[in-house]
């Protein structure tokens, strides 16, 4: 009996873990800045940048905001 309960719990855990790892990127409106820039995003004091120097990223475009010393990102 204990082994059956343990098996059921293990199967439930595996099922929940598989669901937790499911890709949900398609639920985000415009999940990258590659095609439509910032369409669908609220962007304050940010600019789209392109840079191919960074090797550990996917795509070319990203958002960036530079602030001076003492200023806060808004």
pLDDT tens-place string over residues 6-34: 888 888 877 766 556 677 778 888 878 88
Q: Which tops the pLDDT comparison, 72 or 41? A: 41
* pLDDT(72) > 70: no
Q: Is 5 helix (H, G, I), strand (E, B) or coil?
A: helix
Supply the pTM of this predicted model: 0.44
Give me the pLDDT at residue 42, please: 84
Quick check: helix, strand or coil at residue 7? Answer: helix
Strand partners, 69: none
β-pairing, 61-64 with 47-50?
antiparallel
For 15-53, the DSSP string reads HHHHHHTS--GGGSSS-SSTTTTTTT---SS-EEEE-S-
């Amino acid at each position: 009996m204990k082994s059956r309960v343990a098996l059921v719990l293990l199967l439930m855990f595996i099922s929940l873990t598989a669901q937790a790892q499911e890709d949900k990127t398609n639920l985000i409106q415009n999940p990258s800045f590659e095609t439509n820039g910032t369409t669908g995003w609220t962007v304050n004091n940010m600019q789209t940048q392109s840079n191919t120097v960074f090797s550990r990223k996917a795509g070319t475009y990203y958002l960036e905001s530079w602030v001076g010393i003492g200023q806060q990102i808004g």
